[in-house]
Structure 1
Amino acid sequence: MISASEYDQLDALAMAALVCSGQLTASDLCEAAIARAEAVNPRLNAVVLPLYEAARQRASQGLPAGAFGGVPFLLKDFGAQYAGVPHTSGSRALRHFVPAADAELARRWQVAGLNILGKTNTPEFALMGVTEPALFGPARNPWHLAHTPGGSSGGAAAAVAAGIVPVAGAGDGGGSIRIPAACCGLFGLKPSRGRVPTGPEQGEKWQGAAVEHVLSRSVRDSAALLDATHGADAGAPYFLPGPVRPFLEEVSRPPGRLRIAFSLGHPLGSTLHTECATAVRGAATLLESLGHIVEEVLLPFDGRAVAAAFLMLYFGETGASIVALAKVLGRPARPADVEPTTWLLGLLGRTYTAADFAAARHTWNDSARRMGRFHQTYDLLLTPTLATPPVRIGELQPKPIEQTLLKLVNTFGLGGLIRRSGIVEKLAEQSLEKTPYTQVANLTGQPAMSVPLHWTADGLPCGVQFIAPLGAEDVLLRLAGQLEQAQPWFARRPALLD
């Protein structure tokens, strides 16, 4: 057996090593994870679909002897599908949908020896930077229960930060790995476009903007899981050259003397919260002390153009998701099937033309070229991950007057009228004011990471983001390993666990 305090001291690779050596069993780890979940999840609402008995059975029967043999793991209830288990995507329209086959990524996670313990909370269709779906209710931040753990992988982040599991599945289409990592004091790496498989049913997710990986407490767990999952699957639309060496080895390699630019400019011209500015300046000072060349610059991309292009994607993909519900429901979706905001986003998606979408895609290419030129001078770009510390639960939900407007628009199908008024774009841009730094890497396909180097005066985590050239996860992991050694965060735990 293993005590709760001993369990907290282990990352996933350490757990697997103890199982491999016979000092622990997969059942020991499974029981410790379930005990922690039962103790904290009623306050967090992070795990929304427990699969405890099935996990116990797998642990007792034996799991694959991969790099993570016997390690408890949680799947996000969006993205990588798990055969025979409900896959709701946070929507009541899909609460009875059960996929018949595993996604390739879920298969690779299982081959690595991970023991799936359940599924985690996510906003409907993973559309929000907070996790407050009507279906399951809000997930809460272990560092302060009144605040969000971020989104859309908020349930996964809350579960890892609270020590239910050392690592959990996550996805990132506009910041949904990095945002919750920043909110919950975790390491969150968004891999390059094409690094991780999206099959067998999808060639790309969100036009290639979205990619899946994990949230973790240690850098090496993230690296080793990327070793276990990277590489194209059959029919993949993108191909990246494989790594020079295993990603895990990069974590302990010196990063060399990097040239790193940082910026405190807000992409939408708003005011950056002082705690987020302090986090970046503190990171810059730490980097200089480690021998790196650090310079302050203006943002090398057009923040408003990136936001507009991302919103076009956001509206269009939501509309497509609502149309696709007919395959599950056996009829066209109706407003009552989804949340009012989701239905409105879908209405807006249908008001744009193919020419509008093509013009927005040109911004993706322009941003990629701008960042490519930037990286001819600088190895990395350092920014805040968020423009504000974690917001309070409910802070970003529509106000009563906005809810009334949503009801009127959805009832009478007034998406076109609302779009022409410019009201929705203004509201959407206001929502991106708090998360304006992450979307550019989704449009360009670059790898990016959030690193937990700062906590606010109120004890809330406040991450910083690094963006690297396409395919340069190795550079990010080397630097992350160095930062983890220089300013450790692994032992820092929420008071919830005391």
Structure 2
Amino acid sequence: MTPSEYDRYDGLGLAELVRTGQVTAAELCEAAIARAESLNPRLNAIVRPLYAAARQRAGAGLPVGPFSGVPFLLKDFGGYYAGVPHTSGSRALQNFVPAEDAELIRRFQAAGVNILGKTNTPEFALMGVTEPALYGPARNPWNVAHTPGGSSGGAAAAVAAGIVPLAGAGDGGGSIRIPAACCGLFGLKPSRGRNPTGPEQGEKWQGAAVEHILTRSVRDSAAMLDATQGPDAGAPYFLPAPVRPFLAEVGQPAGRLRIGFSLEHPLGRALHPECAAAVQAAARLLESLGHEVELVPLPFDGRAVATAFLMLYFGETGANIAALAHVLGRPARPTDVEPTTWLLGLLGRTYSAADFAAARHTWNDSARRMGRFHQQYDLLLTPTLAVPPLPVGALQPRPVERALLRVVNQFGLGGLIRRSGIVEKLAEQSLEKTPYTQLANLTGQPAMSVPLHWTAEGLPCGVQFVAPLGAEAVLFRVAAQLEQAQPWFDRRPAIVV
């Protein structure tokens, strides 16, 4: 199989070739490795190749499932893959090797995928760009001067470049949808509780974070969710099983939906014209497909959502740093992690339990607001991002900020910095680029980014749909309808053409 032939198929298409004997899993493995060796030096998407083991599995035979023999990549964050270092993008964890597979990884493998390696992610998956000090920045196949987004940026770059047709990803504040929007991919964040988080974790990021995959086709995402969905032992959340397989929803009539769309920036900032144009074009397309589309104000308090998310962000980072002691055999020091990560951890320790509880009330308020919204509208349509993909390095601290970080971290001045207001200013400057995605993480709703627009400079610019809790089926039906009306699968970056 030549690289160009390999790139013509999605995951289910490749699996069908294997099932019918037209190609072997070994041939797919070699095609993916050849593509990775050709493109990864320019993209830095794969940070831990596992090619020898993949070749061995391809020769020995893979489990029979919907994706038998299909090359696949795991994100170097989230679910553990036994026997393989799990760094989470941090030098503090370079030598950490989990002994047991996470339940989701077991289900990926039972679906028949062949794991080729692990992908780049920012330290502890904390950023909407993928530029860890440990591995260096991942780059966007559509323009290598720009970011593929984050935190699943390495996964998105690899899928967009055609190295693999699908790759593992996670989403705690937009980390599936942001890179999907940056790289011209389909990215669905499932409902809270749809996919398992065990065996070690009951919930991730207080239930805000979930894991799934990034794909080029809608049906690959649906088929993999069929393979992985459902609670595992001790799961803290339980969703009713889908009425029928999600894959069966792809191609089913979507009906006449009421869709509210908004061009408001949740933090009151200016929305980039290309992102506004993406939503407006999507609204017109949906109208042409028979849906009722209406401009609406944002049905949630954007500033309150941002504040609640930042409380989670600071607190979980502080907890992650404290947990490093179990791996390091001593308390973590500032030199163990990146300066920004250490500051976030300091800030997490300056807030009280009452502060955290108050922020959690915002989660519930937001869920109730969205519940009332969905009594009138089936879906909410917004930009996925407020700006097109940023240049690599755009969110890195400037020299004066790096100097301030060194002083703050050296003397443990998190409380002083918090009281100064500098943190809120810097955090808002960051969240103003990605203000739309955190809502669904706090409410637990499913949401997806769909690649319907490219900028004048040729960069992808996704649009986001948010559905009621447990309504992935509606998202898959609409996404498949849009995919048929305005196909994106064959639109490829110049780097791979």
In the alignment, the residues of structure 1 paired with residue 222 and residue 65 of structure 2 have an alpha-carbon distance, to the nearest angstrom, of 15
In the alignment, the residues of structure 1 paired with residue 93 and residue 366 of structure 2 have an alpha-carbon distance, to the nearest angstrom, of 35
Query: Are residue 167 (structure 1) and residue 166 (structure 2) matched?
Result: yes
Per-residue CA deviation, residues 292-344 of structure 1 (Å, 9 max, x unaligned), is 00000000000000000000000000000000000000000000000000000
AA partner of residue 350 (structure 2): T
Query: Are residue 319 (structure 1) and residue 315 (structure 2) matched?
Result: no
In the alignment, the residues of structure 1 paired with residue 447 and residue 185 of structure 2 have an alpha-carbon distance, to the nearest angstrom, of 14
AA partner of residue 256 (structure 2): R
| Residue of structure 1 equivalent to 2:459 | 460
In the alignment, the residues of structure 1 paired with residue 430 and residue 4 of structure 2 have an alpha-carbon distance, to the nearest angstrom, of 39
In the alignment, the residues of structure 2 paired with residue 20 and residue 340 of structure 1 have an alpha-carbon distance, to the nearest angstrom, of 50
Once the 2 structures are TM-superposed, how far is the Cα of residue 417 of structure 1 from its aligned partner?
0.5
Once the 2 structures are TM-superposed, how far is the Cα of residue 244 of structure 1 from its aligned partner?
0.2
Once the 2 structures are TM-superposed, how far is the Cα of residue 190 of structure 1 from its aligned partner?
0.1
Per-residue CA deviation, residues 322-378 of structure 1 (Å, 9 max, x unaligned), is 000000000000000000000000000000000000000000000000000000000
Once the 2 structures are TM-superposed, how far is the Cα of residue 421 of structure 1 from its aligned partner?
1.0
Structure 2 residue matching 1:382: 3-state secondary structure: strand
| Residue of structure 2 equivalent to 1:484 | 483
| Residue of structure 1 equivalent to 2:100 | 101
| Residue of structure 1 equivalent to 2:256 | 257
In the alignment, the residues of structure 2 paired with residue 305 and residue 317 of structure 1 have an alpha-carbon distance, to the nearest angstrom, of 18
In the alignment, the residues of structure 1 paired with residue 3 and residue 44 of structure 2 have an alpha-carbon distance, to the nearest angstrom, of 20
In the alignment, the residues of structure 1 paired with residue 270 and residue 353 of structure 2 have an alpha-carbon distance, to the nearest angstrom, of 34
| Residue of structure 2 equivalent to 1:342 | 341
In the alignment, the residues of structure 1 paired with residue 461 and residue 447 of structure 2 have an alpha-carbon distance, to the nearest angstrom, of 16
Query: Are residue 10 (structure 1) and residue 27 (structure 2) matched?
Result: no
Taking structure 2 as the reference length, what is the TM-score of the superposition? 1.00
Query: Are residue 111 (structure 1) and residue 93 (structure 2) matched?
Result: no
In the alignment, the residues of structure 2 paired with residue 68 and residue 8 of structure 1 have an alpha-carbon distance, to the nearest angstrom, of 16
Per-residue CA deviation, residues 418-450 of structure 1 (Å, 9 max, x unaligned), is 011111011101100000000000000000000
Per-residue CA deviation, residues 173-226 of structure 1 (Å, 9 max, x unaligned), is 000000000000000000000000000000000000000000000000000000
Query: Are residue 229 (structure 1) and residue 228 (structure 2) matched?
Result: yes
Structure 1 residue matching 2:381: 3-state secondary structure: strand
Structure 1 residue matching 2:97: 3-state secondary structure: coil
In the alignment, the residues of structure 2 paired with residue 98 and residue 353 of structure 1 have an alpha-carbon distance, to the nearest angstrom, of 33
| Sequence identity (%) | 82
Once the 2 structures are TM-superposed, how far is the Cα of residue 4 of structure 1 from its aligned partner?
1.1
| Residue of structure 2 equivalent to 1:194 | 193
In the alignment, the residues of structure 2 paired with residue 5 and residue 34 of structure 1 have an alpha-carbon distance, to the nearest angstrom, of 14
In the alignment, the residues of structure 2 paired with residue 430 and residue 38 of structure 1 have an alpha-carbon distance, to the nearest angstrom, of 37
In the alignment, the residues of structure 2 paired with residue 204 and residue 354 of structure 1 have an alpha-carbon distance, to the nearest angstrom, of 19
| Residue of structure 2 equivalent to 1:333 | 332
AA partner of residue 462 (structure 2): G
In the alignment, the residues of structure 1 paired with residue 110 and residue 367 of structure 2 have an alpha-carbon distance, to the nearest angstrom, of 35
Taking structure 1 as the reference length, what is the TM-score of the superposition? 1.00
| Residue of structure 2 equivalent to 1:404 | 403
Per-residue CA deviation, residues 394-431 of structure 1 (Å, 9 max, x unaligned), is 00000000000000000000000001111101110110
In the alignment, the residues of structure 2 paired with residue 96 and residue 43 of structure 1 have an alpha-carbon distance, to the nearest angstrom, of 26
Once the 2 structures are TM-superposed, how far is the Cα of residue 5 of structure 1 from its aligned partner?
1.1
AA partner of residue 249 (structure 2): E
Structure 2 residue matching 1:322: 3-state secondary structure: helix
> What are the residue-to-residue correspondences of 1:30-49 with 2, within 5 Å?
30-49=29-48
In the alignment, the residues of structure 2 paired with residue 38 and residue 80 of structure 1 have an alpha-carbon distance, to the nearest angstrom, of 25
> What are the residue-to-residue correspondences of 1:72-471 with 2, within 5 Å?
72-471=71-470
Unaligned runs of 5+ in 2: none
In the alignment, the residues of structure 2 paired with residue 277 and residue 185 of structure 1 have an alpha-carbon distance, to the nearest angstrom, of 17
Once the 2 structures are TM-superposed, how far is the Cα of residue 85 of structure 1 from its aligned partner?
0.2
AA partner of residue 388 (structure 1): V
In the alignment, the residues of structure 1 paired with residue 208 and residue 125 of structure 2 have an alpha-carbon distance, to the nearest angstrom, of 13
Once the 2 structures are TM-superposed, how far is the Cα of residue 3 of structure 1 from its aligned partner?
1.0
In the alignment, the residues of structure 2 paired with residue 457 and residue 416 of structure 1 have an alpha-carbon distance, to the nearest angstrom, of 44
AA partner of residue 476 (structure 1): L
In the alignment, the residues of structure 2 paired with residue 437 and residue 121 of structure 1 have an alpha-carbon distance, to the nearest angstrom, of 24
In the alignment, the residues of structure 2 paired with residue 13 and residue 133 of structure 1 have an alpha-carbon distance, to the nearest angstrom, of 32
Structure 2 residue matching 1:90: 3-state secondary structure: coil
Once the 2 structures are TM-superposed, how far is the Cα of residue 144 of structure 1 from its aligned partner?
0.1
In the alignment, the residues of structure 1 paired with residue 308 and residue 245 of structure 2 have an alpha-carbon distance, to the nearest angstrom, of 35
> What are the residue-to-residue correspondences of 1:54-65 with 2, within 5 Å?
54-65=53-64
In the alignment, the residues of structure 2 paired with residue 277 and residue 200 of structure 1 have an alpha-carbon distance, to the nearest angstrom, of 42
Once the 2 structures are TM-superposed, how far is the Cα of residue 141 of structure 1 from its aligned partner?
0.1
Query: Are residue 22 (structure 1) and residue 13 (structure 2) matched?
Result: no
AA partner of residue 188 (structure 1): G
In the alignment, the residues of structure 1 paired with residue 6 and residue 333 of structure 2 have an alpha-carbon distance, to the nearest angstrom, of 46
In the alignment, the residues of structure 2 paired with residue 320 and residue 76 of structure 1 have an alpha-carbon distance, to the nearest angstrom, of 21
Number of equivalent positions: 497
> Superposition RMSD on alpha carbons, in Å?
0.3
In the alignment, the residues of structure 1 paired with residue 480 and residue 269 of structure 2 have an alpha-carbon distance, to the nearest angstrom, of 33
AA partner of residue 206 (structure 2): Q
Once the 2 structures are TM-superposed, how far is the Cα of residue 494 of structure 1 from its aligned partner?
0.2
Unaligned runs of 5+ in 1: none
